[in-house]
Amino acid sequence: MAEGLVAGDAALVTGAASGIGRGIAQALAREGARVALADSDGERGNAVADALRKEGRDARFIACDLATPGGAAALFEAARAALGQVSILVHSASPRRLEADTVFNVSDETWDRMLAVNLRAAFVLGREAGRHMKEQKLRGRMLLVTSLHAESPRNLPHYSASKAGMTMVMKELARALGPHGIRVNAIAPGAIPGGGFNAAAAGVERLTACTALGRLGTPEEVAGTAVALLSDRFSSYVTGTTVVVDGGIALHNWIEPPG
């Protein structure tokens, strides 16, 4: 892109140390936004921020733990203090999911952590960002990274339930904040290697065969759509919706987890 689509904006991106979150943070920075990259992985998060600064971008890293009760609110306040204001919020953080965490095997602890990071943090960050954007009279934008499994079961109940809940949080935020000129949307990626998605070779081969475009996607491809949704140039009249970026994999009836 490199067209300055979000020049002048200040963005907070969670899960920015790897995968889709990293791709979105990089794309926003390269499109002119000042970016706070948030993650629990300080080593990788700092490395991403350092690399962006070497490109001449305005980026800084904030360590966070969204699994703790006050983690999301503390993160937003830290980002607001670091950036001065937050006009863009992207929530991409999610715990790594294991194929063994099925209906019969997932522990209470694993369930609680997944819902805390994905669902509770989505609401708390959205609430705090919404209050801030409203008070500062910002034309704010928010984007929640959900999943195809917000609607299709995957035999990972904690993951699917959290993503389904995030979809409704997005809609509630969009409805409440729309009158204040604040847009809230979601993006549902398909099979995108990196971050929380890791499949065995056989699983990758099967997923590729199920994808209409005949290949898996990249974080950069998801980031391109994300930036378009966050820009007023391309999406000024879009709110309360989920955009699917999946290469056509949802055209197939696939509900089994990858091998």
pLDDT in tens, 177-191: 999 999 999 999 988
Sign of CA dihedral 82, 47, 247, 205: negative
Catalytic residue among 159, 219, 227, 230: 159
- pLDDT tens sequence across 92-141: 999 998 888 999 999 999 999 999 999 999 999 999 999 999 999 999 99
Which carries the bigger pLDDT value, residue 138 or residue 213? 138
Reported confidence tier of residue 2, pLDDT bands at 50, 70, 90: low
Contact assessment for residue 90 and residue 12, using Cβ atoms and an 8 Å cutoff? yes
- Catalytic residue at 237? no
Name all domains of the chain by residue range, CATH numbers in brackets: 10-251 (3.40.50.720)
Distance of CA 143 to the CA centre of its chain: 7
Task: Judge whether residue 91 has pLDDT over 80.
Answer: yes
pLDDT band at 1 (very low <50, low <70, confident <90, very high): very low
| pLDDT at 206 exceeding the cut of 80 | no
Answer yes or no: are the C-beta atoms of 66 and 40 closer than 8 Å. yes
Model confidence at 32: pLDDT above 60: yes
The letter for the amino acid at 23 is G
pLDDT value at residue 194: 67
pLDDT confidence band for 225 (50 / 70 / 90): very high
Q: Is the pLDDT of residue 11 over 90?
A: yes
Average pLDDT over residues 166-172: 98
39-57: pLDDT as tens digits: 999 999 999 999 999 999 9
